[in-house]
Amino acid sequence: MLSLSVLFALTLTLKGQPGGGPPSPEEMAKRENELMKSELNLTSDQLTKVEAINLKYANKMGEMFQQGPPSDFEEMRKKMEAIQQEKRTELAKVLNADQLKKYDAMMAERRQRGPGGPQ
């Protein structure tokens, strides 16, 4: 349920695209990059790697959304959790221990705010 909340929060947060539709994976990744750069004090090398990771996983999420509304929200939640875990695993190879701890705290805060909350 928490991952589903994160996904919907991201979708709602990133609204405001022309026509009111959902953001593109590129826009989702760009916003995530900006947030991580400012909050985690990424080096230029880290930023390059993080940008690639964020785009990769934004594309995966985008593919899920393009399939339309899920018939099984539990299945969607499981897929989203798996994608988020894969992303965290890749980020753990790029971020130092302090940055990873801050990243985990950022994600926990997003889950607590839930969909529609300020991001």
Let me know: does 93 contact 84? Beta carbons within 8 Å: no
Residue 61 lies in a domain: yes
Residue 118 lies in a domain: no
Residue 119 lies in a domain: no
pLDDT band at 16 (very low <50, low <70, confident <90, very high): very low
Residue 105 lies in a domain: yes
Q: In Å, what is the CA distance from 95 to each residue of 4, 30, 53, 83, 101?
A: 25, 18, 12, 18, 9
Let me know: does 94 contact 57? Beta carbons within 8 Å: no
Distance CA 41, CA 51 (A): 14
**What's residue 5's pLDDT?**
45
In tens, the pLDDT along 53-78 reads: 999 999 998 888 787 777 778 888 88
The domain tally of the chain equals 1
Residue 17 lies in a domain: no
Distance CA 92, CA 101 (A): 10
pTM for this one? 0.76
State which residues form the domain around 66: 2-12+22-113
